[in-house]
């Protein structure tokens, strides 16, 4: 395993089951707000977030969620989707009509995954996986940028890659899970019965193939307590998985 807790920027275990409670960023302070009563249910590790066709999760732009310039970064998560329609998974920006409308995004494209990054000016990298995912099955997605290539892996398999060297930019856009959001207008929203779990964001760090295998963990997942056994920026409470008290 090459990564450490210090490389992790945000972690959403999504243990919360309340339809109105904040979804805590276990590592940092980029908490997610549930919109339209997103709920929770048993998932890969403990609970995960549930979506019903109107639900999504939202955070304002933070430094942990933004990479300006040719900065390495990685994201990983588990998804359970009953539909193969185009759906937003992790999205930093609006529904893009121009390159200035978004910073980076991970979405479905049929039964493939699309990972896209733009520098706002002239350059955009759009990678579609060759591997596919199946509906109504828990699937692990890892996507990363190492300054030279965009890469994306499904279920720990061989990553698809695309040459891209222009990095991203800081447009101050919101971060959403499960939707594209342009003003009050929603699009590409996760279908009824969808779930997401164990979302991790790594600002300044690009995954290795070993990292992806570790996080996939033969389909069992690899939670926050395994990545940050000392709690990251706080203390684990009584051995309770993935919960912490933030350092004052």
Query: How far apart are alpha carbons 107 and 105 in whole angstroms?
Result: 6
Residue carrying the six token digits 């807790």: 5
Ranges of each domain in the chain? 5-234
CATH number of 5-234: 2.60.120.200
CA atoms within 13 A on the CB side of 154: 21
Please state whether 41 falls in left (phi above 0), alpha (psi between -120 and 50) or beta.
Answer: beta
Q: pLDDT digit string (tens) for 1-53?
A: 589 999 999 999 999 988 778 999 999 999 999 988 788 999 999 999 999 99
Residue 4: partners with Cβ closer than 8 Å, 6 or more residues away: none
Is this prediction's pTM over 0.85?
yes
How much is the average pLDDT of 192-217? Answer: 97
**Cα angle 52, 55, 58; round to 5:** 155
Residue 75: closest CA among 110, 118, 107: 107
pLDDT tens by residue, 218-228 = 999 999 999 99
The band of 243, judged by pLDDT with boundaries at 50, 70 and 90, is very low
Mean pLDDT of 187-207: 96
């Amino acid at each position: 395993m090459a990564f450490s807790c210090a490389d992790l920027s945000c972690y959403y275990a999504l243990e919360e089951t309340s339809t109105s409670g904040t979804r805590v960023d276990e590592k940092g302070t980029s908490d997610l707000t549930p919109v339209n009563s997103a709920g929770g249910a048993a998932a890969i590790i403990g609970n995960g977030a549930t979506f019903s066709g109107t639900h999504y999760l939202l955070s304002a732009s933070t430094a942990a969620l933004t990479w300006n310039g040719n900065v390495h970064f990685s994201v990983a998560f588990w998804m359970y989707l009953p539909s193969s329609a185009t759906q937003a998974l992790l999205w930093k920006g609006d529904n893009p009509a121009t390159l200035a409308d978004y910073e980076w995004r991970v979405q479905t494209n049929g039964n493939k995954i699309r990972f896209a990054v733009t520098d706002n000016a002239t350059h955009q990298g759009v990678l579609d996986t060759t591997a596919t995912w199946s509906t109504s099955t828990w699937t692990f997605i890892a996507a990363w940028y190492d300054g030279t290539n965009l890469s994306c892996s499904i279920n720990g398999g061989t990553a698809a890659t695309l040459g891209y060297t222009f990095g991203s930019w800081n447009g101050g856009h919101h971060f959403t899970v499960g939707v594209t959001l342009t003003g009050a207008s929603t699009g590409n929203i996760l279908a009824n019965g969808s779930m997401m779990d164990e979302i991790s964001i790594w600002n300044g760090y690009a995954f290795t193939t070993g990292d992806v295998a570790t996080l996939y963990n033969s389909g069992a997942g690899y939670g926050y307590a395994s990545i940050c056994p000392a709690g990251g920026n706080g203390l684990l409470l009584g051995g309770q998985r993935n919960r912490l008290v933030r350092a004052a």
